[in-house]
Amino acid sequence: MRHRCGAAQRTTAREAFGPCIGMRYQMTITAPSPVVDSSEDAFRRLRALRDRVMEGVLADDPAYLEGRRDYDDALARLRVQMREDLRGRGGGGCRDGRA
């Protein structure tokens, strides 16, 4: 089910997503490659979910539910990568080669 999404709703969705962009850049310069890869996947899926909301997709719509499930799965994978990195099993240094 979709409804017409007004300019105010689109702006709200865009603004709510804004802080994610800064965190994305922080992750790419501080995290090891496996964490960055998982972070990028989660970011893209969250952005796709935001876009669905901006198109007027409602929370009970199958398209929203699928996007939410995709994002939740990607976020779970990111958490696993982050925990492995914190335990010292991340398998890689920082993206610029620093340990």
Task: Spell 29-39 as b/e; 16+ CB within 10 A means b.
Answer: eebbebbbebb
pLDDT band at 95 (very low <50, low <70, confident <90, very high): very low
pLDDT at 98 (0 to 100): 42
77: left (phi over 0), alpha (psi -120 to 50) or beta: alpha
- Give CA–CA dist 35/83, Å, rounded: 9
According to DSSP, the residues that pair with 85 across neighbouring strands are none
Examine the pLDDT at 61 and tell me if it is beyond 90: yes
pTM: 0.76
